[in-house]
Amino acid sequence: MQKRLTARDWILYSLIAVLILLLLLVMYQIDRQWIRLAEMQTAMQEQAKDMRELRTAVASGAIRSQAAGSASAAGEGVSTAFRRARAMTQQEDYAQGDWSVNAFGTNLKTLTPLVSTDAYASDVQSYVLESLITRNPDTLEWEGLIARDWQISEDGLIITFQMRDDVTFSDGKPLTADDVVFTFNFIMTEAIQAPRDRAYLEKIRDVEAKGKYEVVFTFKEPYFEALSLAGGLGIFPKHFYEPYLQKPQEFNESKGLLLGSGPYRMPDPKGWTPDKGNVELVRNERYWGDVQPSYNRILWRIIQNDSARLTTYRNGDIDAYGARPIEYADLKKDQQIMGKSQNFEYMPPVAGYSYIGWNQERNGKPTRFADKRVRQAMSYLTDVQRVITDVFLGYAEPAVSPFSNTSKQHDANLQPYQFNLDKAQALFKEVGYEDRNGDGVLEDKDGQPFEFKLTYFGDNEDTKRMVLLLKDLYAKAGVKMVPAPQEWPVMLEALNKKDFDAITLGWTSGIETDIYQMFHSSQAKTDGDNFISYKNPELDKLIDQARATVDETTRMPLWNQAEHIMYEDQPYTFLMRRQTLAFIDKRIHNLQMTKLGLNRGFLPVENYVPAAMQKYTQ
């Protein structure tokens, strides 16, 4: 039997109908809001794209502001630091976009500036941090970057910089004189782990802001690289790093605190850690420079194995490959490699040098290498020319000292130590080392064998071959060397703690090399770069005098004298300076040789990929 609908039922159904209608209205409104939000997002993306295209057009010269007047395509109206990059944008096939993809041969321990100590981290930081001035790679003269102009007092003690007022950090905050002052004070804070940087900056008495965009550096005494020291300081954003003054240990232990004003930025300026493996930078869309960077991203893949790096390059997954000498000739005959590559073979004017460092003090006690006669003997046993011939196939030149053979600091009368077994054995005997039990190994007067470990980076095949060759050479003189391969972070830890017998590594070089950091007695301290504890008061005096001598003609003889002392003392056995043997993908355009080497990597980035050859879209 059917039931009749009562008034109460009608009321109930009516309410349900109203609720359904309201629900439909709400859903409709939400849909309209989502559509509107999507439209706004699309509009913002289109505006951002338009802005990028506009900035590219301005940079390339296709559009010029009225204020530029009759500025020519050669770059008038553009600050000098950006003229090479502006010239790049004038090329017919110039285009923004794509990625620059490279490889590091080892894991990085940290990217945090000051805390990091290796060249790999410095490479990354150079795209993010900027300084007041920069060196022109063609003329080697200093030119303004963040600084518009500067003046140096007659006595050389005061340098005043006038800064641009349009520079911002990648988070949009303006860069002012206060940030420069903060950077200096931050580094000089003892609780911050920056002993290497403080070693140089201690020449500066104070840094003071004279207005929002003027900063004054006052030096305690004359210093030959005062302009370079003050103007080359990578500028930290005060608002980002200042909180770490209250928690310095957190900064010292950090892995990826990196924020600056450069053309690229970290996707997360606090979030990188070594377990992420690769290192990635993205374009700084707020970049203040007169020319915008070409690449959307800069990526470094961690590929520790040499063969794997070559395979990755061959497959087109990285843009460059630094060839080992043993494979270089074959690769130049490889049709597939040469078909995709530009080939560069050169000795960089500022090429660094490799060395074996002899640790002279361990656990507070002198080692056998504290006697310079032992170090001299080891240099006579280290047949550098054979290493260059057998391992590096002639693509290197012997290093006499920290000073380049082409530098005015170098005395051309000094010749590299030549292999001489007789001289080495005579020096060992003079010290008291002889084969006392007929086992073929030298012993000291107490019968302790001459045995030591040579620490080296285990993933470098050429270094491994060199170490094995030296092991055999040393054995002929009765010296037992034990190869001790290490991973990169472990090596850095050993350096900081001075926990090694001997170590083979390399230093980068400059146009004029200041050796204070590596060889002055004051730097033989924990976390200092004189990690071999080498001390010579006479050398200290010469280093101090040379650094305080502004006149070049007076300074160079002082460096020559310092070189003679190092040549005699052999704190390092100086090995070689290696040629660069590079293959770079043909998709990378505008590669040029300069007085500082190949322009790949200069800032702002001066290379690009034509639109038709680009393969990364984001």
pLDDT tens by residue, 344-391: 999 877 788 999 999 999 988 999 999 999 999 999 999 999 999 999
Lowest-confidence pick of 102-106, 251-255, 314-318, 333-337 = 102-106
Indicate the average pLDDT of the chain: 87
Long-range contact set of residues 12-16: C-beta below 8 Å, sequence gap at least 24: none
Q: pLDDT-based confidence at 288, cuts 50/70/90?
A: very high
Among 467, 516, 470, 523, which residue's Cα sits nearest to residue 495?
523
The pLDDT tens digits for 198-212 are: 988 999 999 999 999
Q: How many CB atoms lie within 10 A of CB 541?
A: 13
Determine the distance from the C-alpha atom of residue 144 to the mean position of all C-alpha atoms in its chain, rounded to a whole number.
21
CATH code of 353-578, in short, is 3.10.105.10
551 burial level (CB within 10 Å; 0-12, 13-18, 19+) = exposed
Q: Which run of H or of E encompasses 239?
A: helix 238-241
Q: What share of the chain is helix, strand, coil (3-state, %, to 5)?
A: 40, 20, 45
Looking from the CA of 388 toward its CB, the CA atoms found within 13 Å total: 20
Q: pLDDT-based confidence at 115, cuts 50/70/90?
A: very high
Res. 81: pLDDT tops 50: yes
DSSP string, 94-159: -----EEEEEESS--S--STTT--SHHHHHHHHTT---SEEE-TTT--EEESSEEEEEE-TTS-EE
Q: What distance in Å separates the CA atoms of residue 540 and residue 460, rounded to the nearest whole number?
A: 34
The pLDDT tens digits for 580-613 are: 999 999 999 999 988 888 886 555 678 999 999 9
Lowest-confidence pick of 33-42, 100-109, 214-223, 237-246 = 33-42
Mean pLDDT in residue range 239-262: 97
Determine the distance from the C-alpha atom of residue 441 to the mean position of all C-alpha atoms in its chain, rounded to a whole number.
42
Mean pLDDT in residue range 220-244: 96
Considering the chain, tell me which residue range(s) the CATH 3.10.105.10 domain(s) occupy. 353-578
Res. 70: pLDDT tops 60: no
Residues 6+ apart with CB under 8 A from 161: 132, 147, 149, 150, 180, 214, 215, 216, 217, 230, 231
The pLDDT tens digits for 506-552 are: 998 878 899 999 999 999 987 778 999 999 999 999 999 999 999 99
Q: What pLDDT was estimated at residue 446?
A: 92
Amino acid 460 reads: N
Considering the chain, tell me which residue range(s) the CATH 3.90.76.10 domain(s) occupy. 107-262
* Residue 127 backbone phi and psi in degrees, to 5: -85, -10
The conformational region for residue 608 under phi > 0 = left, psi -120 to 50 = alpha, else beta, is beta
Lowest-confidence pick of 312-326, 409-423, 426-440, 486-500 = 486-500
Q: What distance in Å separates the CA atoms of residue 475 and residue 485, rounded to the nearest whole number?
A: 19
Fold of 107-262: Dipeptide-binding Protein; domain 1 (3.90.76)
Q: What distance in Å separates the CA atoms of residue 159 and residue 219, rounded to the nearest whole number?
A: 8
Q: What distance in Å separates the CA atoms of residue 182 and residue 217, rounded to the nearest whole number?
A: 13
Q: pLDDT-based confidence at 47, cuts 50/70/90?
A: very low
